[in-house]
Amino acid sequence: MPKIICGEAAGCINGGRLWDRMFDLAQYGALPNGGVNRQALCDEEILARHCLVRWGKAMGLEPSNDAAGNLFLRYRGTQPNLPAVMVGSHIDSQPTGGKFDGPYGVLAALESVEAIIDAGIRPQRNIDVVSWMNEEGSRFAPGMMGSAVFSGARKLEHILEIRDKAGISVERELKKVLAAEPDVPRRPLGDKPAAFLEAHIEQGTVIESANKTIGVVTGMQGKRTFHVYVTGEESHAGTSARRTRRDALVSAIDIVHALQQAMWDAEDVTQFTIGMFTVSPNAPSVVPGRVVFSLDLRHPDAAKLRDLGDEIPKICQAARGRCEASVSQLLHDPPLEFPAAIRQLLCTAASALGVGWMEMPSFAGHDSRYLHYVCPTGMIFIPCQDGISHNEVESIRKDDAMDGARVLAESVLALANATSAIWP
C-alpha cells in the first residue's frame, strides 16, 4: 500500500482557481440556462481542449493526444520510465448538460497536479492528467469511446465508423480535432498506466442525504444499451386505410409500452430509459415508415442484467404488430468492483484530511469502467445538489469541489511516489 503523505499537496489546493476554471471551461458550448452543450468532437470541444492545453503548458505540463482523441497533460516525474499514474475524466457533455459532469474530474486532476507543483514536489512517477474522448455517447453512441479504445476494450477502426444523427462519422470529426492540435505530439495507444483515479460529481443524492463530503466508489452497476429499429411503410394520411397501414410509430408505441411493463421494478433497482426516439419522415400527413429508439438498461446484478436484456428482442417481436422490428445491442458492460486497496487509499486520504466520507456504488457509468480492466482504478464522488445531473441546472458547492481535489491530490501523490509495482 502506498504511503499517504498528508497535507503537503492538499494544503496547496486552490479552491478559487479550480472553481474559476470550471466556469471558464463552461463558456465553450454555454447554453442560456447555465448549462453546456459540448457534445463529443464538436467545435466547442476543440476550443475547450485548447484551453486545457494552455493551462497545462502554463504549469509546465507536456501535452499529448492519441489516435482515439484522448488528451493528456504530463507532469514528468523523477523516474519517467516507470508507468504513469493517470487522473482525469471527460469534458464532453450531454446536449443539455451541466457544467460539472466530467469537467470537475479533469479540472480537479489539473488542480491536484498544480498543487503538487506549488508544494515543490516532483514525484517519482509521471502524472498524466487525462480528458477521455466521448464519455457521454450522446452524439456518437456508445459512450466512453476514448477510454474503451485506450484500454483495448474496443478497436479504433470500429469507433471510427460510428456516425451521428446527421451522418457525420467519428473518423471525420476526430481528424478535425487532432488537426486542430498541430503542436500536440501524438502518443501511441496501448499504454498501461500504474493506476487511474477519477473524481466526479455523484449525480445522485446518496452523499448529500448522509451529510458527507466524499463518496469513495466501491464499484459500478452494469449497463446494456440497444437501438430498436421499427420499419413499416410510408403512406398517405388521408387515403390509406387504417386497417392496412403499416405505421411504424403505432408499432413502436406498442413496443415501448410492452418494454416499460416488462422492465418495471417496484423496488426501483432496475433502471430503464428510452431517451432517444426518432420518427421518419416526421411529416404531419405521412404515415410514419420508420422509428429508431434507444434503450438504456442498468442493474447492479450481472445475471439480472443479462436476463432482462436478453428478453428485449423477444418483447419487441411480440409487440411489433404489422411492422418489422429489429434490435441491435451497442454495449453490454457487466457490474464491477474496484480493488479494495485503491478504495482503502482514498478512504485513508479523506480521513487524514478530516473530510467526511462514505463508501457507495456508482449508478452512473464512467471512464473508470474501462481503466479498471488495465490498471488499479478508483473513483471519488462529491455531492451534486439534489442529485440533479444531465440537466442544465446541475450544481455543486465550491467547498465540496475543493475537498474532493484535496483528497484526489494526496491520493495521486501517494500513487506517484510508489516506486515498485503498486499492486501484487
Contact between 325 and 316 (Cβ < 8 Å): yes
Nearer to ligand GLV, 124 or 271 (CB): 271
Number of residues that bind Mn ion (CB under 5 A): 2
Site mask, ligand GLV, residues 108-147, x = CB under 6 A? ----------------------------x-----------
Binding at 92: pick from ligand GLV, Mn ion, none (beta carbon under 5-8 Å per type): none
**81: number of Cβ within 10 Å:** 7
Look at residues 207, 52, 36, 28 and name the one whose alpha carbon lies nearest to residue 114.
52
Site mask, Mn ion, residues 69-108, x = CB under 5 A? --------------------------------xx------
Q: Is 309 in the site for ligand GLV (CB under 6 A)?
A: no
Contact between 201 and 101 (Cβ < 8 Å): yes
Nearer to ligand GLV, 75 or 140 (CB): 140
Binding at 305: pick from ligand GLV, Mn ion, none (beta carbon under 5-8 Å per type): none
Binding at 365: pick from ligand GLV, Mn ion, none (beta carbon under 5-8 Å per type): ligand GLV
CB of 298 to ligand GLV, least distance (A): 8
CB of 154 to Mn ion, least distance (A): 18
Contact between 21 and 110 (Cβ < 8 Å): yes
Within positions 35 to 94, which residues make up the interface with ligand GLV, using CB under 6 A?
none
CB of 117 to ligand GLV, least distance (A): 31
Number of residues that bind ligand GLV (CB under 6 A): 3
Site mask, ligand GLV, residues 337-376, x = CB under 6 A? ---------------------------xx-----------
Binding at 102: pick from Mn ion, ligand GLV, none (beta carbon under 5-8 Å per type): Mn ion
Nearer to Mn ion, 102 or 215 (CB): 102
Binding at 222: pick from ligand GLV, Mn ion, none (beta carbon under 5-8 Å per type): none
Look at residues 406, 416, 400 and name the one whose alpha carbon lies nearest to residue 7.
406
CB of 168 to ligand GLV, least distance (A): 21
Nearer to Mn ion, 29 or 102 (CB): 102
CB of 284 to ligand GLV, least distance (A): 33
CB of 261 to ligand GLV, least distance (A): 24
CB of 136 to Mn ion, least distance (A): 5
Binding at 123: pick from Mn ion, ligand GLV, none (beta carbon under 5-8 Å per type): none
Nearer to ligand GLV, 105 or 365 (CB): 365
CB of 6 to ligand GLV, least distance (A): 32
For Mn ion, the binding residues (CB under 5 A) are 101-102
For ligand GLV, the binding residues (CB under 6 A) are 136, 364-365
